[in-house]
Amino acid sequence: MGGPPTRRDRPGFDAAAIRRYYDRNTRAFLRYGHGGGEGAIHRAVWGPGVGDRRRALHYVEDRIADVIRGREGGPGSLHVVDLGCGVCASLCYLAERLSIRGTGITLSPEQAEIGRARIASLGLAERVTCREGDFSDLPEDLQPADVAFAIESFVHAPDAERFFAECARLVRPGGALAICDDMRGAADGRAAERTLRRFARGWHANTLLTPHELQAMAERAGFVHESTERLTPYLELRRPRDVAIAALVAPLGALPWRSTRLDPLIGGTALQRGLAKGWVDYDLTVFRRA
């Protein structure tokens, strides 16, 4: 199972490349994506009991809210850190519903600007902060976290071991780390590898681990696996819009040259195929800091 999605000896995209990717594309994601009205850049999950798109867009955040409630009981507000926070929509959603202090970390100055405006507009500036930073090299003055989470950002980590080392430094003993992201499934064969390469290139993905690899890496850093929820069956696959985009951009995926503006579309098309084929799974995994 070789190739860029699982290769850890050198990253395909460093922090500067990920920063450029989101500086260039975030406003388009918000404007044209299906979650822009909620500030959500991540996917909708039509899990049990979900009856409308807004709830689907917040399904993962609601599951993380359950994790936070499981850590409540101590004095004062819990500190919750969003690692790769986008425009801070997830933290704002959680802070509107729970008595938490929140810190969002994003590489992108563009996202940080939008996130700070969102926080201010919702009247959350006293409890929520959006900071520019790298989750693989967290700011020294960042306060310890009771709960940290990463929604569709872990896959960008140039060095997954370093990510977990930083999380071990950040999360208090007994605290929680939740990761919701794409995991490598049964992806043998040339077609699978080609698809995963297109996904990695288009979405600037560096880290596509199997669930077993993820758990083993977390355990080496001092975390204990608590739960894994497979969310793939609840995703929207092959929507008419996605089928139309695939027909337009799929032939471009193999070209050695193309406009970088097409990267998210080509990567998204490859990801849709990988999910439909079982080559990729979408999981929510929760760990406890030992």
Q: What is the model's pLDDT at position 72?
A: 73
Phi, psi (rounded to 5 degrees) for 237:
-120, 140
Residue 284: pLDDT over 90: yes
pLDDT, position 2: 43
Are the CB atoms for 184 and 159 separated by under 8 Å?
no
Q: What pLDDT score does 27 carry?
A: 93
Tens of pLDDT along 37-53? 788 899 999 999 999 99
10-45, pLDDT tens digit by residue?
448 999 999 999 999 999 999 887 776 788 899 999
- 3-class SS of residue 63: helix
Average pLDDT of the residues in 50-74: 92
State residue 45 phi and psi, 5-degree precision.
-125, 115
pTM of the model: 0.91
Q: How far apart are CA 57 and CA 46, in angstroms?
A: 8
DSSP string, 160-207: HHHHHHHHHHHEEEEEEEEEEEEEE-S--SHHHHHHHHHHHHHHT---
The fold adopted by the segment(s) 15-194+203-236+281-289 is Rossmann fold (3.40.50)
The letter for the amino acid at 96 is E
Answer whether residue 5 shows pLDDT above 60: no
Tell me how far apart the alpha carbons of residues 1 and 184 are, in angstroms, rounded to a whole number: 10
The pLDDT tens digits for 109-154 are: 999 999 999 999 999 999 999 999 999 999 999 999 999 999 999 9
Q: Tell me the helix, strand and coil percentages in the chain, rounded to 5.
A: 45, 20, 35
Confidence check: pLDDT of 228 > 50: yes
Q: Report the alpha-carbon distance of residue 192 to residue 261 in Å, rounded.
A: 24
pLDDT higher than 60, residue 196: yes
CA distance 286 to 170: 15
- At residue 230, does pLDDT exceed 70? yes
